[in-house]
Amino acid sequence: MRFFSDNAATVHPEVIAALAAANQADAAYDNDRWSRQLDGRLAELFGTACEVLWVPSGTAANCLALGALCPPWGGVICHRDAHIQNDEAGAPEFYTHGAKLMLADGPGAKLTPAAIAAVADAQANDVHRVQPHAVSITNATEYGLSYRADEVAAVGELCRARGWGLHMDGARFANAVAFTGEAPADLTWRAGVDALSFGFIKNGGMTAELLVFFTPGLADETRRRRKRAGLLLSKGRFLAAQVLAMLDGELWLASARAANASAAALADAAGARLIHPVEANELFLRVSPDEAAALRAKGFDFYDWAAGEIRLVTAWDTDAGHVAALAAAIRALNSSPGRGGGPPASRPVVEGVLD
Amino acid sequence: MRFFSDNAATVHPEVIAALAAANQADAAYDNDRWSRQLDGRLAELFGTACEVLWVPSGTAANCLALGALCPPWGGVICHRDAHIQNDEAGAPEFYTHGAKLMLADGPGAKLTPAAIAAVADAQANDVHRVQPHAVSITNATEYGLSYRADEVAAVGELCRARGWGLHMDGARFANAVAFTGEAPADLTWRAGVDALSFGFIKNGGMTAELLVFFTPGLADETRRRRKRAGLLLSKGRFLAAQVLAMLDGELWLASARAANASAAALADAAGARLIHPVEANELFLRVSPDEAAALRAKGFDFYDWAAGEIRLVTAWDTDAGHVAALAAAIRALNSSPGRGGGPPASRPVVEGVLD
Amino acid sequence: MRFFSDNAATVHPEVIAALAAANQADAAYDNDRWSRQLDGRLAELFGTACEVLWVPSGTAANCLALGALCPPWGGVICHRDAHIQNDEAGAPEFYTHGAKLMLADGPGAKLTPAAIAAVADAQANDVHRVQPHAVSITNATEYGLSYRADEVAAVGELCRARGWGLHMDGARFANAVAFTGEAPADLTWRAGVDALSFGFIKNGGMTAELLVFFTPGLADETRRRRKRAGLLLSKGRFLAAQVLAMLDGELWLASARAANASAAALADAAGARLIHPVEANELFLRVSPDEAAALRAKGFDFYDWAAGEIRLVTAWDTDAGHVAALAAAIRALNSSPGRGGGPPASRPVVEGVLD
Amino acid sequence: MRFFSDNAATVHPEVIAALAAANQADAAYDNDRWSRQLDGRLAELFGTACEVLWVPSGTAANCLALGALCPPWGGVICHRDAHIQNDEAGAPEFYTHGAKLMLADGPGAKLTPAAIAAVADAQANDVHRVQPHAVSITNATEYGLSYRADEVAAVGELCRARGWGLHMDGARFANAVAFTGEAPADLTWRAGVDALSFGFIKNGGMTAELLVFFTPGLADETRRRRKRAGLLLSKGRFLAAQVLAMLDGELWLASARAANASAAALADAAGARLIHPVEANELFLRVSPDEAAALRAKGFDFYDWAAGEIRLVTAWDTDAGHVAALAAAIRALNSSPGRGGGPPASRPVVEGVLD
């Protein structure tokens, strides 16, 4: 019973069907009839004109966005636990040609204007020090928290005031929208987001994510960067088709709601063991090594996050029976959590693949 | 009737079926049961141990290979008309961190040891001049010529003597193998090739190419570079599954043979109009503007290569009736070619997307 | 008797004296009283506001300029024999993060609008091909030719029309000004030059060149790039002082005139042996190997440029007696040149350090 | 009375004299008679064969070293307050093509094996996370502490065990040698240092630092990187001559001793105000804003390090009378320090140029 990662989940049958349906000869790269629909479809969803590029990975979406928002000699402020800092193997530095990630703090990997400003204000504005040019926030965060629109807007206001770009890593954007009920527009461009990495792969897609530019002037150069990075797939219609299938009938939202619901059921069972509020499809629990072993003995697979802590992830296809079984197993554990106190102050030692 | 590009072709139904069959939860990235088969399957095909990485594009395969073979301050000798020089938007420079492509000449975009040595020997070996570290050849070439094993071996011998790496861009490697009947091993590692970009997408695949390392010591760092470039897809099993489907029952070879056979039929019709020998699935014909218009009027789609020249490309799925019709239409053209003489001395003005 | 390179020349005593005079405590980097004079002094010389950065080498000046004018995914059109292409070890690619040099032809390494446009027009404007963003010309050229103001203006007009930047590599700008008598303004900003690498080192300086920006908006980011490249020297006052000494009393122009006069005297002697007109301080002569050996036997040191060709370079401090002796020795050679015809069609094999 | 920075100090008259003496025609770049002496002279000093490159700045020396020791996809462990992290504007990222600085903690900006290992061990060794390839320590540190040979050796042992390179930023190496009395060999190669940035500019030089490689195999590629960065000055003899003058008669050591002696005298006066031990030529004092103003009113110039903290730097040429006057002025301040507690936990807000 898999609660290890939403990357391990299956692809939604509608997406598979869409691939078969797209198997017709058409123009190469992104000149086909599927790719050409994307701008329009996302404009509908967000209620504003936007320019949309498909890419085959979230790392690609994030780092193309950072390259568009920050010059090689600049810096990007992000959370100390951000995926771009810890889990992308230096891709931000590769795509920006060596820009610096400037690390801010905040509970649950969520950033506030104060935390961001503190990082920026510690750098004297002289030629010897890297200056911030952009902020990147993750929604839902690496600890499964969802930003409310006003929280994003507060960050966006700071960015506007300082002349910085604002990127949102939305690998689990669908989960955040589903949890908060906020309008996609309110969480993004109305709040000052210039570029959104809109994730589909964890949510039932196969190999397609979107990079959505709300701010004009960034997409054209990014199309060149995308090609230059080997990310412009020649049969791109099969990426566009995946996304269109997910957008049809709000499949993306239904899938996220399903994943969130499973997480909520587990959260209910976990109670005081929860390290962070559960606002998407991830749970972080205080569980002693013995307890973890007991859960594994019952057939549950999950991630050892840190000493005395585990991570559970649900997906669009998580089996309801598995959820019920895991909830029961968690309730059956001795109720005293294996580890007291709040979240760890710094990124812990981990032993496997995080995504 | 499409003779524009093999990128526009459809995906083989076996590949589509393989995607559906792979739609099971498994480990993320390349730890799944499909990806883990690749090293072994390619070792069988090539008759030697090798390390294999899937990537979503040929540009990615080529440029990861160049990065592995050439340091940022080095040079890669390639043909003046090579895809890496003209059609990858600077991806070689991006992936190598600024290495220089050093351009050699040769009919039909084929390189000889003499042509390669001439480029190298024109650079004094001092600290002021970029020194070659690798050679990249394309097989089949950009003009549809296929290297024989002894031709590759001659280049490989030069590379060994000079201490250079040897990369083969095999976007149409299948077509070259199918045309020459040479063993894959003889065209690659036995001839001194360190790294092969093994193309599947033009040949019936969807979004998966392979980078095959025959020389130990290059794959590990390249796996890091692949991740750093956003090319390590989280549901990588769907790339591996495509390739495995193409390898099963030698589907890759059957598909290439079909494409080559269509090209051969057209070559037969084209006769003296051919600018290059037809040794794969591409044809370059001397055709006047009026003749080209006449062909288009009959419903044939193709690429205007240069003034008085067109390119035709066949694919695994090219309709036999369309081939017969085009052959007849070519024969029906006035037999005097629209343009005398050999291939153009320099890269011509082109107006569309080349692939 | 040295006619090998103006880099081997001595430093003008006024420059040495200026270093001693600048040996006072002052602010570090470029906040000192010498560095702060540069903008004003160059504005006087060029008759327009400009922003000026000292750097310790011509390569640094050239490549910071290219970085300011061309993005990583763009191209810079330059002559096939340009110093930036052949003699800077890939520095343009390093500083631009992998932009591509696009090579144009022209006699004497001089570029015309037609030659530049031919390169640009051969690239279809699609996302697969690197697009030009800038042009770089060298004045005086690598073969010692000097641009006239109207020649630069013609190139500048093309650049403006296409939206490209224009860089002038002026390692021997002083020699070009001295030879043509053109106003520095007419050769640069009035002709559309955005950035000038203004050379002093070959002309009697020690370790200081200037990068002069005539176009606003480029200097600030370049100051950051300069620091990021380790080129912002902490005791920068000693670079500024060198340049100020060269500007005082037009020492830069007097020095260039002296070098040019020596070259003119040798050109007079060389007559039909000259491969290029002599319009600065370099001469390229057809000289057979036996003749070259005879000259060397008399104590003259120079550069073997190519088979049957030598390069002579004069400097500000070239001894008049040495010039007379070399002129006589050249006249004494058998008058039939060792090699007929014009300049070589392609860059020749060279065996030493070119500068 | 200047206690702001040793970069503001004058150049030693012997260095000025050496420049004048080197003003003879000779080979360009580093083929001259001065540059060719460097390997031998440093081999004598360090008692081992080494390969030596002059460069015009400490940033250049540091970042060429990092480029030699760490690939683009790797990481360099350094102190959170290291110059390479805070004061080089992203030069490490530029020269390494985007490697990541991984920040360790330690009092006085000194690193221990435990602190280094903690950073490394927090990174799971998988392809998603940047792995350390090198360690960089600063000696004397950014807070003026000097490593003892056994402290360096402990770090060196860790590096050897993990397969990492070890770089020493020795912008104030002379001060550390002078303070500790350790042999240069014991502080470097015998302790496992692969590459040393050996500073001269802060210590009476003008524009020359050395990059010393003790480990074979790194210098050749670094010579190419140096050229590619525009750091290979054409009249390099004037850099070599500066260094040779500083090495003659141990001028480098005498100068450092003079600077250290001035610092020691001030340290004596500062007493309990000292934030760090004074082991080189820098002092960090707790001084209230009022007290700082009082010192400035008496004509002393220095750097506001953080709230309630100032930095004083002495140099080889610091006037003895000024030292006595400042010592007296410090003693005259009210003895209660303006700020209690130890060094600040995180890098403070600064307002000027730090070096």
Q: Confidence class of residue C8 from pLDDT cuts 50, 70 and 90?
A: confident
- To the nearest whole Å, the CA of A96 is away from the closest chain D CA by 8
**C202-234 in b/e burial notation, b at 16+ Cβ within 10 A?**
bbbbbbbbbbbbbbeebbebbbbbbbbbbbbbb
Cα-Cα-Cα-Cα dihedral of D285, D289, D291, D292, to 10°?
70
Cα-Cα-Cα-Cα dihedral of C273, C275, C276, C278, to 10°?
-30
Phi, psi (rounded to 5 degrees) for A286: -80, 115
∠ Cα A257 A258 A264 (to 5°): 85
- To the nearest whole Å, the CA of A200 is away from the closest chain B CA by 11
Closest to D6 measured CA to CA, from D283, D327, D325: D283
* Structure-block tokens of residue C43: 């504005």
Q: Which residues of D touch B71 (CB under 8 A)?
A: 221
User: Which pLDDT score is estimated for A123?
Assistant: 87
Q: Which residues of B touch C96 (CB under 8 A)?
A: 98
Displacement of CA A50 from its chain's centroid (Å): 20
Which H or E run includes C286? strand C282-286
User: Which pLDDT score is estimated for C342?
Assistant: 42
Is A349 in contact with A290 (CB distance < 8 Å)? no
Which H or E run includes C92? helix C91-96
Phi, psi (rounded to 5 degrees) for C344: -65, 145
Average pLDDT over residues A71-84: 98
User: Which pLDDT score is estimated for C19?
Assistant: 97
What residues are paired with B12 via a beta bridge?
A: none
Residue D18 CA to residue B58 CA, distance in Å, equals 57
User: Which pLDDT score is estimated for D335?
Assistant: 57
Would the CB atoms of A234 and B55 count as touching at under 8 Å? no
Q: Which residues of A touch C226 (CB under 8 A)?
A: 127
**Rounded to whole angstroms, what are the CA distances from B298 to A83, B330, C300?**
54, 11, 73
Would the CB atoms of B16 and A11 count as touching at under 8 Å? no
Closest to A3 measured CA to CA, from A219, A292, A315, A347: A315
Would the CB atoms of C73 and A127 count as touching at under 8 Å? no
User: Is D12-249 assigned to CATH 3.40.640.10?
Assistant: yes
Interface predicted TM-score (ipTM) of this complex, two decimals: 0.94
Q: Is the pLDDT of residue A226 over 70?
A: yes
Instruction: Decide whether C12-249 matches C252-332 in CATH topology.
Output: no
Residue B48 CA to residue B42 CA, distance in Å, equals 8
∠ Cα B268 B272 B273 (to 5°): 90
Alpha helices in chain B (DSSP H): 13-21, 38-46, 58-69, 83-86, 91-96, 113-121, 149-162, 173-180, 184-187, 219-228, 237-247, 251-270, 289-297, 320-332
**Residue among D227, D230, D234 whose CB faces C201 most closely:** D234
Is A167 in contact with A137 (CB distance < 8 Å)? yes
Q: What percent of chain A has pLDDT over 90?
A: 91
- pLDDT, tens digit, for every residue of C167-218? 999 999 999 999 999 999 999 999 999 999 999 999 999 999 999 999 999 9
Q: Which residues of A touch C232 (CB under 8 A)?
A: 127
Q: Which range among C26-30, C339-343, D100-104, D161-165 shows the weakest confidence by mean pLDDT?
A: C339-343
The per-residue pLDDT of chain C, averaged, comes to 94
**D15-39 in b/e burial notation, b at 16+ Cβ within 10 A?**
bbebbeebbebbbbbbebebbebbb
∠ Cα C96 C97 C103 (to 5°): 55
Would the CB atoms of D234 and C29 count as touching at under 8 Å? no
Would the CB atoms of B73 and C86 count as touching at under 8 Å? no
- pLDDT, tens digit, for every residue of B52-104? 999 999 999 999 999 999 999 999 999 999 999 999 999 999 999 999 999 99
* Structure-block tokens of residue C166: 């224009």
Q: Which residues of A touch C127 (CB under 8 A)?
A: 29, 223-224, 226-227, 232
Is D160 in contact with D124 (CB distance < 8 Å)? no
Residue B347 CA to residue C3 CA, distance in Å, equals 40
Q: Which residues of B touch D29 (CB under 8 A)?
A: 127
Phi, psi (rounded to 5 degrees) for A196: -120, 130
User: Which pLDDT score is estimated for C338?
Assistant: 47
- To the nearest whole Å, the CA of A328 is away from the closest chain D CA by 32
Q: Confidence class of residue B339 from pLDDT cuts 50, 70 and 90?
A: very low
Average pLDDT over residues A266-272: 96
Residue indicated by tokens 């020596």:
C262
Q: Confidence class of residue C151 from pLDDT cuts 50, 70 and 90?
A: very high
Describe the strand order of the beta sheet including C282-286 as a list of residue ranges. C282-286, C309-313, C303-306
- pLDDT, tens digit, for every residue of C36-82? 999 999 999 999 999 999 999 999 999 999 999 999 999 999 999 99
Which H or E run includes A213? strand A209-213
Would the CB atoms of C235 and D95 count as touching at under 8 Å? no
Is C166 in contact with C159 (CB distance < 8 Å)? yes
Give one DSSP letter per residue of D96-162, joined into a string. Answer: HTS-EEEEE--GGG---HHHHHHHHHTS-SSTTSPEEEEEEEESS-TTS----HHHHHHHHHHHHHH
Average pLDDT over residues A287-314: 96
Per CATH, the number for B12-250 is 3.40.640.10
Q: Which residues of C touch D199 (CB under 8 A)?
A: none
Residue A11 CA to residue B39 CA, distance in Å, equals 25
Is D227 in contact with B127 (CB distance < 8 Å)? yes
Average pLDDT over residues A220-229: 98
B198: left (phi over 0), alpha (psi -120 to 50) or beta: beta
Q: What percent of chain D has pLDDT over 90?
A: 91
User: Is A253-332 assigned to CATH 3.90.1150.10?
Assistant: yes
Q: Confidence class of residue A7 from pLDDT cuts 50, 70 and 90?
A: confident
Q: Is the pLDDT of residue A289 over 90?
A: yes
- pLDDT, tens digit, for every residue of B231-268? 999 999 999 999 999 999 999 999 999 999 999 999 99
Closest to B105 measured CA to CA, from B77, B70, B69, B66: B77
- To the nearest whole Å, the CA of C200 is away from the closest chain B CA by 20
User: Which pLDDT score is estimated for C22?
Assistant: 97
Residue D202 CA to residue D194 CA, distance in Å, equals 23
Would the CB atoms of B349 and C121 count as touching at under 8 Å? yes
Residue D145 CA to residue D79 CA, distance in Å, equals 13
Indicate the pairing of strand B131-138 with strand B165-170: parallel
Q: Domain extents for chain C?
A: 12-249, 252-332
Q: Confidence class of residue D324 from pLDDT cuts 50, 70 and 90?
A: very high
Contacts of B173 by beta carbon, 8 Å cutoff, 6+ apart: B139, B140, B184, B187, B196, B197, B198, B199
Closest to B77 measured CA to CA, from B156, B135, B19: B135
Would the CB atoms of A229 and B230 count as touching at under 8 Å? yes
The per-residue pLDDT of chain B, averaged, comes to 94
User: Which pLDDT score is estimated for D349?
Assistant: 36
Indicate the pairing of strand A209-213 with strand A51-55: antiparallel
Residue A8 CA to residue A236 CA, distance in Å, equals 23
Q: At what angle do helices B237-247 and B38-46 cross, to 10 degrees?
A: 30
Coil, helix or strand at residue D286? strand
Would the CB atoms of D128 and A87 count as touching at under 8 Å? yes
Which H or E run includes B103? strand B100-104
Residue indicated by tokens 């929860």:
A274
Would the CB atoms of A224 and C97 count as touching at under 8 Å? no
Would the CB atoms of C91 and D20 count as touching at under 8 Å? no
Phi, psi (rounded to 5 degrees) for C238: -80, -15
Q: How many residues does chain A have?
A: 355
Residue A68 CA to residue C99 CA, distance in Å, equals 16
**C130-147 in b/e burial notation, b at 16+ Cβ within 10 A?**
bbbbbbbbbbbbbbbbbb
What residues are paired with C198 via a beta bridge?
A: C170, C210
Q: Which residues of C touch D33 (CB under 8 A)?
A: none
**Residue among D90, D130, D351 whose CB faces A89 most closely:** D130
Is A281 in contact with A260 (CB distance < 8 Å)? yes
- Domain B252-332 CATH superfamily: Aspartate Aminotransferase, domain 1 (3.90.1150.10)
Higher-pLDDT residue of B60 and B351 is B60
Residue A12 CA to residue A18 CA, distance in Å, equals 10
Average pLDDT over residues D10-29: 96
Q: Which residues of D touch C95 (CB under 8 A)?
A: 230
Q: How many CA atoms lie within 13 A of C307 on its CB side?
A: 9
Would the CB atoms of C227 and D355 count as touching at under 8 Å? no
Neighbours of B251 (CB within 10 A): 21
Average pLDDT over residues B208-217: 98
User: Which pLDDT score is estimated for A8?
Assistant: 84
User: Which pLDDT score is estimated for B355?
Assistant: 53
Chain B residues interacting with chain D (CB cutoff of 8 angstroms): 29, 71-73, 97, 127-128, 131, 221, 223-228, 232
User: Which pLDDT score is estimated for D45?
Assistant: 98
- pLDDT, tens digit, for every residue of C308-351? 999 999 999 999 999 999 999 999 996 555 444 444 444 443 33
Is the bond preceding residue B140 a cis peptide, omega within 30 degrees?
Answer: yes
CATH class of A12-251: alpha beta
Question: What DSSP state is assigned to residue A37?
Answer: G
Is D222 in contact with D211 (CB distance < 8 Å)? yes
Average pLDDT over residues B216-241: 98
Best mutation target among D55, D223, D228 (most B Cβ atoms within 10 Å) is D228
Residue C297 CA to residue A85 CA, distance in Å, equals 65
Residue indicated by tokens 């403006």:
C160
Average pLDDT over residues D44-66: 98
Q: Which range among B223-232, C125-134, C197-206, D343-352 shows the weakest confidence by mean pLDDT?
A: D343-352
Is B76 in contact with B69 (CB distance < 8 Å)? yes
**Rounded to whole angstroms, what are the CA distances from D32 to C7, C283, C309, D36, D41?**
11, 24, 26, 6, 15
